[in-house]
A = this chain, B = another copy of it.
Amino acid sequence: MRIDRLKEFISENELDGVLITGKENLFYFTGSSPVLGGYLVVTPDDAIFIVPELEYEEARETSRVPVEKFKTGKELYERLSSFKLKKLGIEGRTSFSTLQTLREKVGAADFVSVDDVVKELRIIKTPEEIEVIKAACGIADMAMMAALEEISEGKREREIAAKMEYVMKMNGAEKPAFDTIIASGWRAALPHGLASDKRIEKGDLVVIDEGALYRHYHSDTTRTIVVGSPNEKQKDIYYAVLEAQRKGVEAARPGMTAKELDTLVRDVIKEYGYGDYFIHSTGHGVGLQIHEWPRVSQQDDTELKPGMVITIEPGIYLPKFGGVRIEDTILITENGAERLTKTERELI
């Protein structure tokens, strides 16, 4: 069915075929994910997955699409040439080097991006995909619990991340969904403060942003705590962010646009007087990639629909003082939204 949509795209755009090489798109369309990569060729009538010889046996076991193998680049290019792919649909990420090879050795001359049709498919998750994302979110919650237990005065941010990632892997994750963020004290004002060698100090705000990669799907969640007792200003920004995040989760539903959801969350932060310190968008889609569609931002008018999985993650960042971010991965349902990451949000 997914491949059928690519065939429609071929017909709509009068292409000779589509070539997919991106790791997660290969998994999406074939069910297989060779470490050394592969080439999914879709033509008006056919689909074939061409993989390096070393990957052949495993690909044959996992792929829903017929599999062929190649030994050398020459063999691969000859086989690709046989499809006569002059006007070719490719992914937007396809590299300049690959384009040159396709031109010089495969006879392709004209390229069209297939990104929009891939997005149209992948933006709505199937029940099977949702189950896997829920499991990935469950692992993220376990890692968050480990972080909350582990964080104390004197420990290094990196040590906390090490423990969290150990917990993820022991619970079945392939790896962290992205480089774990542990940003304490002044570093909490950095939206992307990767866990560093800084030691956690008493009174620090600590932003913990993490997720797990599980069976090819990602999860994403953030909590913020204070080591010791929060001061008034810390409380002030904490409760502003918490209210914005809660209102976002409550409001998210089919029919509203991603932009409207961003506005609604942003307005809460503005009401508290911190609008200038919420310096990123409200969220993003999550799936086979950690950042996918829709973007919950002022630039994305996508209408929310059941089966979309997005994050809601408002934040306030005060330079030198620190910052707060609270984030859940949520599923858009028929009537509203469901939180897939479930760690308690009120932590100070």
| Whole-angstrom CA separation of A158 from B166 in the bound complex | 10
> Which residue of the partner chain B has the closest CB to A168?
B162
B175 and A179 contacting across the interface, CB-CB below 8 Å: yes
Give the shortest distance, in Å, between A228 (CB) and chain B (any CB).
Answer: 25
A275 within 8 A of B: no
A243 within 8 A of B: no
Residues of B within 8 A of A175 (CB): 176, 179
Give the shortest distance, in Å, between A92 (CB) and chain B (any CB).
Answer: 4
- Of B97, B166, B172, B192, which contacts A165 at CB under 8 A? B166
| Whole-angstrom CA separation of A166 from B99 in the bound complex | 40
- Contacts A169-B165, A179-B174, A179-B175 given; indicate if A36 touches B93 (C-beta within 8 A): no
A95 and B97 contacting across the interface, CB-CB below 8 Å: no
B99 and A93 contacting across the interface, CB-CB below 8 Å: no
A172 and B192 contacting across the interface, CB-CB below 8 Å: no
- Of B113, B179, B279, which contacts A96 at CB under 8 A? B113
Q: Mark A184-203, 1 if CB is under 8 A from B, else 0.
A: 00000011101001000000
A91, A115, A169, A197: residue with the most chain B Cβ atoms closer than 10 Å: A169
A119 within 8 A of B: no
A279 and B169 contacting across the interface, CB-CB below 8 Å: no
A75 within 8 A of B: no
A162 and B166 contacting across the interface, CB-CB below 8 Å: yes
> Which residue of the partner chain B has the closest CB to A34?
B192
A111 within 8 A of B: yes
| Whole-angstrom CA separation of A115 from B96 in the bound complex | 11
A36, A95, A111: residue with the most chain B Cβ atoms closer than 10 Å: A95
A84 within 8 A of B: no
| Whole-angstrom CA separation of A295 from B159 in the bound complex | 35
B96 and A94 contacting across the interface, CB-CB below 8 Å: yes
> Which residue of the partner chain B has the closest CB to A176?
B175
Residues of B within 8 A of A90 (CB): 96
A348 within 8 A of B: no
A35 within 8 A of B: yes
| Whole-angstrom CA separation of A111 from B93 in the bound complex | 16
A235 within 8 A of B: no
A256 within 8 A of B: no
A158 and B169 contacting across the interface, CB-CB below 8 Å: yes
- Of B36, B94, B96, B172, which contacts A91 at CB under 8 A? B96
| Whole-angstrom CA separation of A163 from B279 in the bound complex | 37
A111 and B92 contacting across the interface, CB-CB below 8 Å: no
Residues of B within 8 A of A94 (CB): 95-96
Give the shortest distance, in Å, between A189 (CB) and chain B (any CB).
Answer: 10
Residues of B within 8 A of A96 (CB): 90-96, 99, 111, 113
User: 6 interchain pairs (CB within 8 A)?
Assistant: A92-B96, A94-B96, A96-B96, A158-B170, A158-B172, A165-B165
Known: A92-B97, A174-B179. 16 other contacts (CB 8 A): A35-B192, A36-B192, A54-B280, A58-B190, A90-B96, A91-B96, A92-B95, A92-B100, A96-B111, A99-B99, A100-B113, A158-B169, A159-B169, A162-B169, A166-B166, A174-B194
8 cross-chain pairs, A with B, having the tightest CB-CB distances, nearest first: A92-B97, A162-B169, A35-B192, A166-B166, A94-B96, A93-B95, A162-B170, A162-B166
